[in-house]
Chain A
Amino acid sequence: MTAASDINHHPRPPVDWSAPEAVRRRGKRHAADERLRWIGIGAISLAVGLLAILIGTLVAGGYQAFVQTMVTLEYQVPDDIDLDNRRSARTLQTLIGETVAVELGNEDASARKLAGLLTSDAHFILFRHLEANPSLVGQTITFSVPASDPIDQLNKGTIQRETPEELRRVSDEEIAWFDELKEAGAVSTPFNWGLFTNGDSRRPELAGLKGAIIGSAYALLVCFLISFTVGIGAAVYLEEFAPRNRWTDLIEVNINNLAAVPSIVFGLLGLAVFLNFFGMPRGAPLVGGLVLSLMTLPTMIIVTRAALKAVPPSIREGGLGIGASKHQVITDHVLPLAMPGILTGAIIGLAQALGETAPLLLIGMNASISGNDVGGLTTASTALPTQIFIWADSPERGFVARTSAGILVLLGFLITMNGVAIFLRQRLERKW
């Protein structure tokens, strides 16, 4: 070992920390720090700003779809209408045209053109109303019907009056009629309940999310039932019972990899196995739920294992110590304590499943199905995200607003679910 004296024969000159050079250098270093800080702020602002723009455009585009322009008129229902024959609905078409003409005091105008101010399915709507209330035949009734999509857009200002007539979807004539109706007090814009109570339709003014919401609900139900039970079963086994050997390692690696597989591959799996091999019905929420449950399963297992790990060993030891079996300790003590964490994870997993679109498209939940009939677990339907996708593809202007509105509804569900999960976490979380 070198003697201490050796080293001090070549002492370094003492550092002058107050030399102007040193001061300048420190100044530069602090300036670099500030720059880094500002870059960080910039990055965050960019991310937050983009989120704000996203939400902003959605709200701006979508809020109008939450109200619908309706036209309310007094109709004289003819006595001779045959409610058992669907075809007689057509006779109502002329009735509607004439009623509008009467309202406008304009007997000469074409009844067809006047009826065009209202949705083209107006006669069906009126017919269904009469089917449900046969006593109204022969009476004079006040009835509201949605306006047609161009008129709806006109009323909401999306179609501007200043544009030259050739470029507009509504003619000057139609604008004049509409203004007259408005002055007569026949036009209103109430909340668009139809968005939630109607099924899909080719016409934007009639299109609603009912089928999609129910399809998603069924699919999520199936997903929850399967992934919750199988997920907890697998997690409990892997965490509490399984010996640490090659097989359990393999299963663990497997689960972690599955969690990272792109969702579309699960769609391919569903197509090849459930639809093709097992011959299950195409586009059924049952199949959608099965595919979603396979996707949610790895997440459920991982979350449940984490929740089980968080329960301190002392709980288990206490139970075993008084002679309970391992199963009993888990069912009676560990699982109830881990349940808040498991539930929170399950809700978050379901929220993720709700937003999944690609796999559902591949198994057929992508057909635009018109009509208000509600399907079941095994009839083809759409789901909320796939319905949004279908609407996004549609060319009518009214669908743009509706797509945004549909997205807002979807986001509403997601926010609620995540909020419940966070609430549960706060209330039920135990700190060991």
Chain B
Amino acid sequence: MAGWTLLLVLVLTVTAYVVGRASGTRFWAQHGSDMHSLPGYHGAFVAAWVGVPAFFLVLIWIFLQGSVIDSLLISSLPQGLVEGASQSEIDLLVSQAKNLAGGNVFGEPSPEVRAAAERYANWQQIAGWAMFAAALALMVAAMFFARSRLGHRYRARNNFELILSGLMIGCSVVAIATTLGIVLSLLFESYRFFSQVPLMEFLFGLSWEPQIALREDQVAGAGAFGAVPVFAGTLLVAFIAMIVATPIGIFTAIYLGEFASEPVRAVIKPVMEILAGVPTVVYGFFAVLTVAPAMRAAGAAIGIPVSPNSALAAGAVMGIMIIPFISSLSDDALNAVPRAMRDGSLALGATPGETMIKVLLPAALPGIVGGVLLGVSRAIGETMIVLMAAGLIAKLTANPLDSVTTVTVQIVTLLIGDTEFDSPKTLAAFALGLVLFIATLGLNVLALNIVRKYREQYD
């Protein structure tokens, strides 16, 4: 139904354009150059009035239709079923009804569910037609309204451009809306989590065992939600990743900046871009398939036990992924140092290497440090590599050969499968997400400040 309605909007918008332009052409014939705007703009004006509000109506309708019908459905269920039932049981009934309405029959549904399914199907139909009708009515009204404003003196172009500007401002606001959405949803769900699990336990507890079975009488504290081992695991893997990425990245940038000839540079830059463009799921598979077994075999050869999900394997591959990041940011930082500084050092009799180490690198240091911080931020927020190569059990350890779990892995594992939005298990994922968001935001802001503050030194 939504598809048809959108088609209707499109058709009527085009019609509105034609009608409006026809009016404009008539004015042109009668009044000539007395007209303020070209006929095309008259058409555009009417088309905008018809198309834009209707489009937003359909959009909002699509978004809200689901939850409105859902609540109608729930309130229509017979008292007997609903009384005393937990949220998850009600959700189960609702999804049974929906499945039935969609033609998927599982087992023997009860008569109440059948009735509910019928109602659901009906309401879907009604809602669809109602949306169509509402859009149609809105557009017709808009067409009349807009057309009535037209006149040969009418500043159609200005008004159309006003609408356009309004739309563009709306687009800009989407970015803010996204951030607001992220912050609000994280805060809201985390708030629900912390009303069940104390904040102190979460931040400082040492035991992370969130896989609790769901029963009504389950007290949230029965599952352990101390996130310190998870944080520690994240930091361990990120640390290993940065140990791999930082030296390789910086020295690559040094070589490219000072020692590499043109042909070498022309080859290395694309290679770096390829490394940066490989999807993280590919890196994850590489870690599982090749790196982790290799490390295990190496460990076995020298008699050291290496876990198949070692932090070392995951961290090393993550480091590989971050190399191009550090390298390109360091390269930018080194290139930003004025050439005069390099010339000044060489003119004093310094070698290119000495110039690089004693003058250029210190001068570019803020930029490089900023880049490293951004790299850490990426390492902390990375999901697929650790999801595939690191472990699921939270373990508080500093041994890179052990298996650890990270914040991102836990977020995914807690949320995969059916999510009942009540259990602390699901909400814990949002609490972890909130911590992750704050941490990466903090790192990014810090990086930006460092770069900005020290760059003024030689501008």
Q: Which A residues are within 8 Å of any B CB, using their own CB?
A: 29-30, 32-33, 36-37, 39-44, 46-48, 50-51, 53-54, 57-58, 61, 229-234, 236-238, 241-242, 250-251, 254-258, 260-266, 268-269, 271-273, 276-280, 294, 297-298, 301, 325, 327, 351-352, 354-358, 361-362, 366, 385, 388-389, 392, 400, 403-404, 407, 410-411, 414, 418
Contacts and interface: CB of A to CB of B under 8 A. Distances in A.
A280 B272 contact: no
A294 B180 CA distance: 12
A265 B167 contact: no
A194 B279 CA distance: 24
B408 A418 contact: no
Contact of A357 (B161, B289, B377, B384): B384
Given A251-B172, A264-B408, A264-B411, A47 B275 contact: yes
Contact of A366 (B158, B260, B416): B416
Contacts of B281: 355, 357, 385, 388-389, 392, 407
Interface string B419-457: 101000000011001001100110011001000000000
B400 interface: no
B259 interface: yes
The 5 closest A-B pairs by CB, nearest first: A262-B381, A40-B255, A279-B66, A355-B279, A233-B171
A356 B279 contact: yes
Contacts of B429: 268
A263 B383 contact: yes
Given A261-B437, A277-B67, A325-B157, A358 B408 contact: yes
A159 to B, nearest CB: 18
Contacts of B189: 272
B353 interface: yes
Contacts of A33: 351-354
B174 A297 contact: yes
B148 interface: no
A414 B279 contact: yes
A33 B284 CA distance: 38
17 contacts: A29-B351, A32-B351, A33-B352, A40-B256, A47-B327, A54-B278, A54-B286, A257-B444, A260-B444, A261-B440, A264-B408, A264-B412, A265-B433, A278-B67, A358-B412, A407-B285, A414-B279
What is the interface of chain A mostly: helix, strand, loop, or mixed? helix
A8 B168 CA distance: 72
Given A260-B377, A269-B182, 11 more contacts: A47-B272, A50-B320, A54-B282, A255-B175, A262-B408, A265-B182, A269-B178, A278-B67, A297-B175, A301-B175, A325-B157
B168 A251 contact: no
A327 B63 contact: no
B421 to A, nearest CB: 6
Contacts of A407: 281-282, 285
B344 interface: no
B251 A40 contact: yes
A280 B66 contact: yes
A410 B175 CA distance: 29
B171 A357 contact: no
Given A36-B356, A263-B383, A237 B171 contact: yes
B259 A40 contact: yes
A279 B70 contact: yes
A47 B271 contact: yes
Nearest to B377: A260
B336 interface: no
Contact of B374 (A260, A263, A325, A411): A260
Contacts of B436: 262, 264-265
Contacts of A229: 171
Nearest to A266: B182
A134 B455 CA distance: 77
Contact of B178 (A50, A241, A272, A294): A294
A357 B384 CA distance: 7
B179 A233 contact: no
B165 A36 contact: no
A53 B67 CA distance: 50
B194 to A, nearest CB: 16
A327 B430 contact: no
A366 B387 CA distance: 14
Given A40-B252, A47-B248, A263 B381 contact: yes
Given A297-B178, A362-B412, A407-B285, A357 B280 contact: yes
Q: Which of B247, B278, B384 has the most CB of A within 10 A?
A: B384
Contact of B383 (A273, A357, A392, A414): A357
Contacts of B352: 33
Contacts of A277: 67
B168 A57 contact: no
A58 B286 contact: yes
A276 B175 contact: no
A224 B290 CA distance: 35
A410 B186 CA distance: 32
A269 B175 CA distance: 14
A400 B416 CA distance: 23
B254 interface: yes
A264 B66 contact: no
Interface string B281-311: 1111110111000000000000000000000
Nearest to B352: A33
